[in-house]
Structure 1
Amino acid sequence: MIGNPRVFVARLVGLSVFDPLGDEVGRVRDVVLAMSQRLRRTSGPRAIGLVVEVPGRRRVFVPMTRVTTIDAGQVITTGLVNMRRFEQRPGETSVVSELFDRRVRIRVNGELEPAVVEDVALELQPSRDWVVTRVFVRKGAPTRPRPGLRLRRPKGEAVLAPIEQVEGLHLSVGEQGAEALLESLEDRKPADLADAIHDLSPKRRAEVTSAMDDETLADVLEELPDDDRVEILTSLSTERAADVLEVMEPDDATDLLSGLPDDTVEELLQMMQPEEAAPIRRLLTYDDDTAGGMMTPEPVILGPEASIAEALAVVRREELSPAVASLVYVCRSPLETPTGRLIGIVHIQRLLRDPPHQSIGSIVDRDFEPVPADASLETVTRLMANYNMVAVPVTDDEGRLLGAVTVDDVLDHILPEDWREERHDDPSLDEPPGLRDTAQADSDEGAARV
């Protein structure tokens, strides 16, 4: 039984989806509509299924024919769920990804006025179909944003208009906003956000990424496959691309730039602040599969006179990854790479065991083995494995610290080059226990999406 004959998609997104036994399958992330011309003549677009995010960040398609209840903050389905990754087909439209923020026109007193879609209402018909019957819009048109700023919502009157009074819902004309989509994704971690961005069409992906702030876009670029992030970076203006590169970690920015033509790389570096471009220029001089090519040039570096309390305050910074924050490198001045002579290292566990007022120079560990910048990936990997290390210092011939190779840097290089694509495409990854494909599930999905 369907508990609620009318639902708004914005309220539906995020609801838990349960199977008939009461076990949670996942959460609703989008609604898929069939936008055929024949359907638009008879009524509004028909909802053919839900995009549900299951454990492992996989998005799967659940046909509306399998939805038995939408009520009390939950969705209940019947039968097994086809775990094949959702791929949008021609003639289909994802409401959150593609309709929210779409520019339309509504008919008011015989006149057409511009408006922007903020939500759509689905109603259950006697035929058991869920159909779009009303569109929640806000009159007016958003101002054209400056690069890096989100589109601002129009400040006009909000209207819940019958579908018959809305024109252009099925058309994506010109630039589309991204505010509603970004709001629906704002609680996601960078890797999850990157998955959602990866699934968008190239046009929509460009619109959404251009509306992100520099810090969020930088985080997303670090998680996307190489082809996607090169496509996104080259779609930005040179000035905006340089701003985003400045926010990225130098080693990640270097990896991204290595896939671009030399003249483009130089143009971007020229646009960056000299102090931000300098470490990237140094990293670009090393081969990719060497310690110099993998290292971050900005590990945690302190002088020997710094106290344990100071060191703990530094490693507590939110922007540091766990691997980078695990070691403090104690060096002579200067404390920017390339530093003065590397004295030793202090592990975060040691910092937690000694009095806060004590200097880190008194607890420094000198029993470690740095690697030169030209050390091979195999050398670094074996060293980490032999000594259970999560980071290795990289030094020059004079013992000055150049940077540090962390375990996540090594994983990026020993995993297959297309491992990020495999995360999206391999149907065997992250499949929740107890759920499996069946011939019946395939049959139902096919029938629902004809």
Structure 2
Amino acid sequence: MNVTRFYLSDILGHNLVDIRNRPIGKIVDLVVSLEAGHPKVLAVKIKARKKPIKVDIKNIELKEENERIILQCKRVIETFIEESYLNLDRDIMDKQVVDLNGRKVVRVNDIKLVYIHGDIIVLAVDVGVLGILRRLGVMGIVNSFEKIFKFNIPEYLISWDSIETLYKGIDKLKLSVPYEKLYNLHPADLADIIEDLDGKERAEVFQALDDEVAANALEEIEPDIQVNLLENMMNGRASRILSTMDADEAADILEELEDEFAESILSGMKKDDADAIRKLMKYEDMSVGSIMTSEYVTLNEKMTVIEAKEYLKSNYENEDIPYYLYVVDDNNILKGIISLRKFIFLHDDALLKDVMEDDVISIGDNESIESLIELISKYNLLALPVVDKEYHIIGMALLNDIVDEVFLPRWRKHLRKVS
């Protein structure tokens, strides 16, 4: 089986020749299809008689002579593939792609291909210095230096399976989910990638994500970029994305926007969602209410354990249940607490009011975050219930929110001063 591996730079600028090795035209690009796995070349784009034409790959063979790659055409049959199909040089070379394994944005310096069974298939992208040196035509000098000094410049290839291109063409739009590979990344990694993209590509990628994935990523993105992304989308889409978030996360983002713009986004939400966010936005900075979440679980003290379990199954089957379950009376006044760990092992027929801890450490919504930090540190807690003046539970303050809202900004500010 004849298998030849080569790089795009090995053929760009060289002639496509006929069966007598006479030049037909300069190779300027390869047109590929994304429909199945690794891209497969459909046509060779050449410049002949001062105009570009696309030659059907079915009539082209690849030969290797004197360590040179030659594309030989048996018969020139022009194919009229749309310009919006992926062109390797135009759309991939020197462009940004997402390295899914390294979870970062990289620049493509060359493209590795393979000729097998008459097909040319894309294997990987070269993101290392060798790709640049190869295109400069100095590999002979590089190889000599490597032999003399007995060292090898490492090759940095990323398999096509492990990248996501940022190209948007007809072939990409045939996919059921554009940028589908990005959906498997952790939101924090996806946020880093979006931050690293150029402005235009950043907006295009973010717009293509579905509402839930976009919301999860937006929570992790730096505030100035959050604002930029929201300002560059329709208000209706912004409303849907922020409605998908927890109210406290949405409130934090909206507080970074101009009042009029923030209100226009809120007006596009369901009334209950918008009211919950507006309520959080009214709190003073550095108050407990400004960082508390409204995503917490309350159970009535009259419930048995089995009734509570059924309630949780019915209402929180697809939700993350917090570390603590809060027990309240009929007026939503906080009466006790049960850790999720303890709850799992309780007898089904026990009443919650008999098994709860009634000495509850709580904090008021208008108290300072400094007071919250003191309580969480003193009692070694992961979260604390937030109550109003009448001791109604109205929220929960999480340790990780304190880190995100207080310690991380201070640390970043410190790093900027040091640098």
Please report the TM-score for the alignment, with normalisation by the length of structure 1. 0.57
CA deviation digits over 1:186-245, x for unaligned, max 9? 211211221222222221222222222211111111111111111112222112211222
The amino acid across from 1:385 in the alignment is S
Aligned residue for 1:402?
A: 394
Aligned to 2:166: 98
CA contact (8 A) 1:225 1:418 kept: no
Greater relative contact order: 1 or 2 (C-alpha under 8 angstroms, separation 6 or more)? Answer: 1
Aligned residue for 1:292?
Answer: 289
Q: Aligned partners of 2:97, 2:278: CA distance in 1, in Å?
A: 47
Identity %: 28
**Paired residue for 2:338, among 342, 346, 357?**
346
Question: Kindly tell me: are residues 305 and 183 of structure 1, through their superposed partners in 2, closer, same or farther at Cα, counting changes over 3 Å?
Answer: same
Q: Which structure's residues are more often helix, by fraction?
A: 2
Q: Is the 8 A contact 1:289 1:413 kept in 2?
A: no
Q: How many pairs were matched up?
A: 296
Q: Which residue of 2 aligns with 1:63?
A: 128
- Structure 2 unaligned regions, length at least 5: 8-31, 40-51, 54-70, 72-87, 108-126, 133-151, 157-162
CA displacement 1:62-118 (0-9 Å, x = unmatched): 416289xxxxxxxxxx66799xxxxxxxxxxxx83333x3x3xxxxxxxxxxx43x5
Look up the SS of the partner of 1:186 in the other structure.
helix
Instruction: Indicate which of 170, 188, 192 corresponds to 1:191.
Output: 188
Aligned equivalent of 1:234, options 228, 231, 234: 231
Structure 2 counterpart of 1:250:
247
1:269 aligns with 2:334: no
Q: Secondary structure at the match of 2:184?
A: coil
Q: 1:54 to 1:330 in 2, by over 3 A?
A: same
Q: Does the residue aligned with 2:221 lie in a helix, a strand or coil?
A: coil
Task: Quote the offset at 1:298 in angstroms.
Answer: 2.6
1:375: Cα distance to partner?
1.4
Deviation at residue 398 of structure 1 after TM alignment: 0.9
Which residue number corresponds to residue 379 of structure 1?
371
User: 5+ residue gaps in structure 1?
Assistant: 14-39, 68-77, 83-94, 104-114, 119-141, 143-151, 155-178, 335-339, 429-450
One of 374, 398, 406 as aligned partner of 1:414: 406
Q: Give, in whole Å, the separation in 2 of the partners of 1:50 and 1:211.
A: 15
Does the Cα contact within 8 Å between 1:218 and 1:247 map onto a contact in 2?
yes
Aligned to 2:114: none
Change (3 A) 1:202 1:356: farther
Q: Work out the CA distance in 2 between the residues paired with 1:358 and 1:261.
A: 52
Are the equivalent residues in 2 in contact too, given 1:225–1:421 (CA < 8 A)? no
Residue 5 of structure 1 corresponds to 5
How far 1:278 moved relative to its partner?
Answer: 1.5
What pairs with 1:40-119 in structure 2 (closer than 5 Å)? Answer: 45=89, 52=99, 57=103, 62-63=127-128, 65=130, 96-99=164-167, 101=168, 103=169, 115-116=170-171, 118=172
Distance 1:317-1:64 versus aligned 2 partners, 3 A rule: farther
1:194/1:422 CA distance change after superposition, 3 Å:
farther
- CA drift of 1:371 comes to 0.7
Residue among 381, 391, 406 paired with 2:383: 391
Could you say which residue in structure 2 is the equivalent of 1:221?
218
Distance across 2 between alignment mates of 1:185 and 1:309: 40
**How do 1:120-269 residues align onto structure 2 when only pairs under 5 Å count?**
153=175, 179-180=177-178, 182-269=179-266
8 Å CA contact 2:97, 2:105 repeated in 1:
no
Verify the 8 A CA contact 2:164 2:182 in the aligned structure 1.
Answer: no
User: How much has 1:267 moved relative to structure 2?
Assistant: 2.1
1:386 match: secondary structure: helix
* CA shift in 2, pair 1:212/1:50, >3 Å: closer
When Rg is computed on C-alpha atoms for both structures, the one with the higher figure is 2
| Cα distance in 2, alignment partners of residues 98 and 418 from structure 1 | 34
Going from structure 1 to structure 2, the CA distance change for 1:297 and 1:224 (only over 3 Å counts) comes to: same
**8 Å CA contact 2:98, 2:164 repeated in 1:** no
Q: Within 1, Cα distance between the matches of 2:412 and 2:207?
A: 22
Root-mean-square deviation (Å): 4.0
Where does residue 129 of structure 1 map in the other structure? none
Q: Is the 8 A contact 1:251 1:294 kept in 2?
A: yes
Separation in 2 of the partners of 1:188 and 1:421? 28
